[in-house]
Amino acid sequence: MAVKLNSAYLKGFINEGELSHVAGACRAAHDALHNGTGAGSDFLGWLNLPSDYDKEEFARIKTAAEKIRKNSEVAVVLGIGGSYLGARAVIEALKGSLYNSRFKPEIYFAGNSISPAYMNEILSLTEDRDFSVVVVSKSGTTTETALAFRVFKELAEKRYGSDGARERIYAVTDKERGTLKGLSGKKGYETFVIPDDVGGRYSVLTAVGLLPIAVAGCDIGAIMAGAEEARRELSEPDLNKNDCYKYAALRNILARKGFNIEMLVAYENSFTMMNEWFKQLFGESEGKDGKGLFPSSAVFSTDLHSLGQYIQDGSNIIFETVLRFKETDSDFFLKDDAENADGLNFLSGRNMSEIREKAFQGTLLAHTEGKTPNIVLESPKLCDFELGYLLYFFEKACAVSGYILGVNPFDQPGVEAYKKNMFALLGKPGYEAEKSALEAKLADTEVNAHG
């Protein structure tokens, strides 16, 4: 198994026998998932995606990516939530967090906020430079993305004319429904499909993730191959032989003991956006019906100098899931310094990876002694194939964990609440009654607060 779980640092927090108490629930979760009998079973397309994907579309993704790489200095990818996090996470994990300073085309993600300042920054980056636009939205109606698309579509049409813009705009959306699909048909944009049975946060291995990832020059064939190996290996129903299920079970046990915050920790700066992808996957999947672990994240050793104090010494509500990549292709050798003014010659002749390993070991010991349980997940290395494996590992762990918890891991009813309020306050037609009620509520709240 490419991702191995090391439970040695749970000693004192979880007893041997406890895993067997959730083995039944875990088996039931496996059966519900594989037989399609659990909640949200209309959204299980991701389960077999690594073997069962549209090969013709996969080839088109590669061709489109190649075209963008040839004709664009900048690629603007528009999408929010599951429609952008996976792509950005994989690109940064594989190409580094400084991708845009080192590689072409530069890739910027927009349509994921309502910040006018950010919009203006991205627009300025397309000035005098050739650009393409990839717009990703399953519904086609998400305000943040649709707003940004309106701006970039107009810019492309102004710069290249409608025929030229058609050659530079790509839409990833529903197969047949939705505003974006309709508009793409009318304008003649090349489109890619988000399958009906794949929800946003489980869509990184569809065109949603794969098109931008291929634009960055990553090997999407290797990513799919890694995910396929995970799909095969992680279909084992017995949690004692399946580390993905063991992980799902352990996090549930820890939550029942009051460790309600999971902190995903990696020792690579380039993993920062993978942490964000993880947080969306688990947060949106499990946080409902008054339940769910709160997903958080850190990059060490950076955050040992910010969150480290709390983890070591604060409330005992956190457990850590620490990722360890065993090998690195990019090491750094520390030379001897004749003056040794900094007193660091005791590190000379070693690789930086060795120093990091000691930081990893020392932190594990310190944090577990500080009453923070640690699950360690070991992956051979951070490369296209192994990352594909890891993506699938987390998706499946999330689904199984959600079923063990007793929630539907494939819906997100809570996300609608802010949208309804925002539309009403903005005066969107159809929300007139809500508008006055909300405005009255806001006024009341202000009066009560300030007198």
**Catalytic (active-site) positions:** 284, 305, 419
Provide the 3-class DSSP secondary structure of residue 273.
helix
Q: Is residue 181 part of the contact set for ligand PA5 (CB under 6 A)?
A: no
Residue type, 264: L
Q: How many residues bind ligand PA5 (CB under 6 A)?
A: 14
Q: Is residue 408 part of the contact set for ligand PA5 (CB under 6 A)?
A: no
Q: H-helix or E-strand containing 318?
A: strand 318-327
Total residues found in the chain within this entry: 451
Q: Is residue 388 part of the contact set for ligand PA5 (CB under 6 A)?
A: no
CB of 83 to ligand PA5, least distance (A): 4
CB of 309 to ligand PA5, least distance (A): 32
DSSP string covering 52-86: SS-HHHHHHHHHHHHHHHHH-SEEEEE--GGGTHH
Q: Is residue 83 part of the contact set for ligand PA5 (CB under 6 A)?
A: yes
Q: Is residue 112 part of the contact set for ligand PA5 (CB under 6 A)?
A: no
Residue 371's CB is within 10 A of a number of other CB atoms, namely: 16
Q: Of 179, 163, 162, 180, give the one whose Cα is nearest residue 171.
A: 180
Q: Is residue 80 part of the contact set for ligand PA5 (CB under 6 A)?
A: yes
CB of 379 to ligand PA5, least distance (A): 24
CB of 199 to ligand PA5, least distance (A): 5
The structure tokens listed for 416 are: 């609608």
Query: Judged by CB, which is closer to ligand PA5: 14, or 194?
Result: 194
**Contacts of ligand PA5 in 300-339 (CB under 6 A):** none
Q: Provide the CB-side half-sphere exposure for 279 (13 A, CA).
A: 18
**Contacts of ligand PA5 in 6-45 (CB under 6 A):** none
The stretch near ligand PA5 (CB under 6 A) out of 32-40, 70-78, 196-204, 253-261 is: 196-204
The stretch near ligand PA5 (CB under 6 A) out of 36-44, 75-83, 97-105, 232-240 is: 75-83
Q: Is residue 199 part of the contact set for ligand PA5 (CB under 6 A)?
A: yes
Contacts 24+ apart (CB under 8 A), 32-40: 32/403, 33/396, 33/399, 33/400, 33/403, 34/235, 38/403, 38/408, 39/403, 39/407, 39/408, 39/409, 39/410, 39/411, 40/408, 40/409, 40/410, 40/411
CB of 49 to ligand PA5, least distance (A): 15
Q: Is residue 72 part of the contact set for ligand PA5 (CB under 6 A)?
A: no
Q: Of 2, 14, 1, 16, give the one whose Cα is nearest residue 375.
A: 14
Alpha carbon distance 80, 96 (integer Å)? 21
Q: Of 77, 88, 105, 76, give the one whose Cα is nearest residue 272.
A: 88
Are 319 and 372 spatial neighbours (Cβ–Cβ below 8 Å)?
A: yes
Query: Judged by CB, which is closer to ligand PA5: 110, or 382?
Result: 110
What would the x/- binding string for ligand PA5 be over residues 255 to 294, using CB under 6 A? -----------------------------x----------
Q: Is residue 139 part of the contact set for ligand PA5 (CB under 6 A)?
A: yes
Q: Could you tell me the sign of the dihedral formed by the alpha carbons of 148, 149, 150, 153, in that order?
A: positive
Query: Judged by CB, which is closer to ligand PA5: 84, or 403?
Result: 84
Q: Which residues bind ligand PA5 (CB under 6 A)?
A: 80-83, 137-139, 142, 145, 199-201, 284, 412
